[in-house]
Amino acid sequence: MYEETSRRRRREETVSSRFADGESFAFTTGVYGDRPTFLLSRGRASDRAEITLYELAPEAVAEARRERFERAGQTGVGPIRALSTAVVDGETPAEVHGGGDPPHDWEEWCAVKVATLRGTRFSEVTYLLQQALSEAGRDPEVVCTGRQASVALPEAAGVRLSIAFRALKPVQRRDRLRAITDGVAEMSLGECYFWHSKARSPNAPSGVKALRVLLADHVD
């Protein structure tokens, strides 16, 4: 209990001090209207469950972001894929819900892979998936059951999951996986956007590592 309280206090102090220093932080909701900007796809690798999170963006934006990382000597942008290869049984995110989403134009949009979680990592992130999807008005069972499926997410839910997926990816110890998942679940939306901006900035290559240290005392 003491360690959890201490870790939470350190996290709050770190975020507060960085906000005070005026470090990069911005809410980007509304940049692309009300379209979903993240995608979860559930599949199987051999006999192990796996789930992949993608960030959706115009191809030109995704390529420009990758070029910025390359110029900085970083590799922070995941593989860029066509929407048709990222969505299970559908060509666009809207088709995932049978056309339930507003009819956006998905031409020249792509899916940028954030991370894939398998095995223990997938098991530990399930609680956070259920929370984020429920808050976004999505049915968690779509991707938390054993069948292959995809679900499109609004930005707020996707941002929360993106920092969790990035932070969990290299961790093996179950207690640290749980500490990271619990920590991200407790974060305010502002904290999530802060760490998301760090993870996506070529000027902050250690952003995700800092988050792992903060939440779970994990050092690469």
pTM of the predicted model, to two decimals?
A: 0.81
Task: Judge whether 15 lies within some domain.
Answer: yes
Task: Judge whether 192 lies within some domain.
Answer: yes
Percent of the chain with pLDDT over 90: 35
Report whether 40 contacts 161 (CB < 8 A): yes
pLDDT-derived band at 45 (thresholds 50, 70, 90) equals: low
Cα angle value 32/36/41 (rounded, 5°): 140
Q: Which of 200, 199, 193, 203 is nearest to 212 (CA)?
A: 199
Q: Which of 158, 179, 171 is nearest to 111 (CA)?
A: 158
Task: Judge whether 2 lies within some domain.
Answer: no
Residues in the chain: 220
Greatest mean pLDDT among 146-150, 173-177, 200-204: 173-177
Task: Judge whether 36 lies within some domain.
Answer: yes
Domain of residue 176, residue span: 7-216
**For the chain, what is the domain count?**
1
CB-CB neighbours of 20 under 10 Å: 8
